[in-house]
Amino acid sequence: MSNDLYQQRLMSAAEAAALIPSGARVAMGLGFSQPPALLAALADRARAGQVDDVRLYYLLSTGIAGQTVLADELMGRIRPMSLFHSALERGLEAQARAAGRPNPVTFIPTGFQQVPRLMREAGVDTLVCTVSPMDADGFFSFGINTDYNRPVSDHAGRIILEVNPAMPRVFGDCTVHVSRVAAVVENQAPLPELPVAPPAPNDIAIGGLIADMIDDGSTLQMGIGALPNAVCAALGGRRDLGLHTEMLTPGLVQLMQDGVITNARKTLHPGKGVFSFCMGTRATYDFLDGNRDMEAHPVDYVNDPAVIARNDRMVSVNATLQVDLTGACCSEHLNGRQFTASGGQLDFVRGAYASAGGRSIIACHSTAAKGTVSRVVARLDGPVTVPRNDVHIVVTEHGRAELKGKSDAERARALVAIADPRFREALERSAREAGLLD
């Protein structure tokens, strides 16, 4: 029966894209689950004037979207509704400014946990993403991207899937049945990979400081980039760590392969590593494929602070762009413009601190722009991503500042002490002028 349904829904990418009408509200898969054949066909329809006013809701576009539906000449017919900017959105905005045109990209501020509800309330009616091949019971696995794909599949009336054998089959709450699907497109193509950035000396120093705060039996959440990978590299001597993270990275996979992360002492999903999406290398995807020690769950579950807090000794590690002298962090704005978004940072800051024995750690280099700009500042240049009330521990290569329970004056002194020495005098003067210090 499942095979019959599959054959009934199997069609070309052009036929599947033709099911998307003008005015549709489309959820496009995050990151590497963006379906290349489907998106190319949708872009062709828009370019030919066959579809208009398609609102595209998504986080973290990649080159897959940039080469298809996010091409500059399609703006207007396709309307990007970005919930997390990448270089593509920043480029589209810059092109529009240079040409004196209105900004073609709509940015919607939101926490990652809230995205499934936001898409439902926005009237998203279509889901397009890449999945693994169907199993014998008629289920497709969302593979490396359960995040909002799985919740949207519950309410979207039009589910269009691109089946790719390169997508790993993952276990957990991460499947959709063929009976819910409007169209299936087959396309065999390598999944994109995220290269592992080599750590800078500052990353290694910060990684060592953070690793010293992670005890045996802790459960980890790590963000993206060289700095979290440096933390992973410094954890080789730990035992029985656990995993509960929105993003699964190669550094975390290496800790599992080395026997450092065993999930044996977890208080939630014991024995299982839990994640919501993954961006890594082919080796990362091969590790996930058919691995029953790993579970993918929707982001409104994984990133729910109340769920996060059920992991005892939860440790979250995330990066920021700026921290002010009271501890508030801006992690998404740069040079006066939206750079990325808040993602799940605040979700894990709150969830980890609420955990029994948990720690929430915000990390950053002490300077930017080749040492000419301090990341510890008197006043943030952009929106507050993590309020000062929520920040627990801030770490730079110069040390750590524990802020919970501290007064404004104590916070200012602690943060000045971990700033780059070249900026400390000016920061202390700013703190006095602001009335933070006597």
- Residues 124 and 264 grouped into a single domain: no
Catalytic residue among 89, 93, 246, 397: 246
- Residues 182 and 290 grouped into a single domain: no
CATH of the domain at 397: 3.40.1080.20
Does any domain span residue 54?
A: yes
Does any domain span residue 410?
A: yes
Distance of alpha carbon 134 from alpha carbon 311, whole angstroms: 33
Output the six-digit token pair for 108. Answer: 């919607």
pLDDT score of 1 more than 90: no
CB 417 within 8 A of CB 401: yes
Average pLDDT in the chain: 97
- Residues 147 and 216 grouped into a single domain: no
Q: Spell out the long-range contacts of 382-385 with Cβ–Cβ below 8 A and sequence spacing 24 or more.
A: 382/321, 382/322, 382/330, 382/332, 382/333, 382/334, 382/336, 383/109, 383/330, 383/332, 383/333, 384/328, 384/329, 384/330, 385/320, 385/329, 385/330, 385/331, 385/332, 385/342, 385/345, 385/346
Type and span of the H or E element at 318: strand 314-319
Type and span of the H or E element at 36: helix 36-47
Does any domain span residue 196?
A: no
Structural domain including 83 reads: 2-186
How many domains would you assign to the chain? 2
Whole-number pLDDT of residue 228: 87
Does any domain span residue 195?
A: no
Q: What pTM does this model have?
A: 0.96
Q: Comparing C-alpha atoms, which of 9, 10, 12, 78 is closest to residue 43?
A: 78
Distance of alpha carbon 8 from alpha carbon 37, whole angstroms: 19
CB 275 within 8 A of CB 222: no
Q: Comparing C-alpha atoms, which of 398, 361, 360 is closest to residue 376?
A: 398
- Residues 175 and 207 grouped into a single domain: no
Average pLDDT estimate for 162-191: 98
CATH of the domain at 19: 3.40.1080.10
What is the distance, to the nearest Å, from the Cα of residue 359 to the centroid of all Cα atoms in its chain? 20
User: From the CB of residue 211, how many other CB atoms can be counted at a distance below 10 Å?
Assistant: 18
pLDDT tens digits, 63-120: 999 999 999 999 999 999 999 999 999 999 999 999 999 999 999 999 999 999 999 9
Distance of alpha carbon 70 from alpha carbon 397, whole angstroms: 38
Helical residues (DSSP H) of 223-294, grouped into ranges: 226-233, 250-257, 282-288
The Cα-based distances of 304 to 96, 111, 245 in angstroms read: 37, 10, 11
CB 80 within 8 A of CB 70: yes
Does any domain span residue 174?
A: yes
pLDDT tens digits, 317-361: 999 999 999 999 999 999 999 999 999 999 999 999 999 999 999
- Residues 231 and 97 grouped into a single domain: no
Specify whether 433 is catalytic.
no
Give the confidence band of 225 by pLDDT, cuts at 50, 70, 90. confident
pLDDT tens digits, 12-63: 999 999 999 999 999 999 999 999 999 999 999 999 999 999 999 999 999 9
State phi, psi for 413 to the nearest 5 degrees.
Answer: -65, -45
- Residues 142 and 252 grouped into a single domain: no
Whole-number pLDDT of residue 223: 82
Give the confidence band of 198 by pLDDT, cuts at 50, 70, 90. confident
- Residue 303: what residue type? N
Whole-number pLDDT of residue 196: 81
271: left (phi over 0), alpha (psi -120 to 50) or beta: left
pLDDT tens digits, 412-421: 999 999 999 9
Last residue of a domain, one of 159, 186, 213: 186
- Residues 175 and 269 grouped into a single domain: no
Does any domain span residue 193?
A: no
Last residue of a domain, one of 161, 186, 211: 186
